[in-house]
Amino acid sequence: MKTYLRNEIIIIENAYINQIFKITKGHITNKRKTEIYQKGDYLFLDQIFYNPYTLDEYYALDMVAGEWIDKQAITMAYFPILSKMHQEKKNQTELLLLNDPITKVSRYFYFEYLNNKTDSFYITLSIKDLALYLNISSNALSEALQFLKSKQILDKHNKLFNIINSNLLKKYAYQKDW
């Protein structure tokens, strides 16, 4: 188990990748802040085979713990994880193409609802990190959350989110985005 402190560099840009990193605690981002990885995510699993050099510098957003896994230890068991990572990237790309914050936030929570297969789930990202992930301001995110709460679609208790009306959430998630 390897630990990193806040703002500590995990790996530098253009470093050779011969291991993947499984995060067991904390959050990691890249220098450009286009990705935020959290507990349960694997760093470099998506690129270790086709581009074995890091595209950016990665560093810890908070206290990070995890384990480095050698390339030779990667088995077929990792392919469902790779598939899930691909789906999450596809979902994020779809979210980034949207303009309306309410539609964007609704679709994000609808994706979470589908992925978790439950009405209640924890979002470990802070409001600032979630806004960064969705490419909207923290104020726009807060207003969208307040709107969804006022329509009795979503309820929030700290980091626990409850979907009250999944049909209405789906309606706002897929409304026309002007």
Q: What is the mean pLDDT of the chain?
A: 91
Q: Of 174 and 36, which is predicted with more confidence?
A: 174
Q: What is the pLDDT of residue 28?
A: 93
27: helix, coil or strand?
coil
Q: What is the pLDDT confidence band of residue 68, given thresholds at 50, 70 and 90? A: very high
Q: Residue 34 above 80 pLDDT?
A: no
What pLDDT was estimated at residue 20? 92
Residue 178 has pLDDT above 70, yes or no: no
Residue 169: half-sphere exposure toward Cβ, Cα within 13 Å: 24
Average pLDDT over residues 147-172: 94
**How far is Cα of residue 164 from the mean position of the Cα atoms in its chain?**
23
Asked if pLDDT for residue 74 goes beyond 70, the answer is yes
Q: What is the pLDDT of residue 84?
A: 83
What tens digit of pLDDT does each residue of 35-50 get? 788 898 889 887 888 8
Highest averaged pLDDT of the listed ranges 76-85, 86-95, 158-167:
158-167
Average pLDDT (108-124) is: 90
The mean pLDDT value for 100-121 works out to 93
Ordered alpha helix ranges (H), 78-150: 79-96, 101-116, 127-134, 138-150
And the tokens for 163? 């979907």
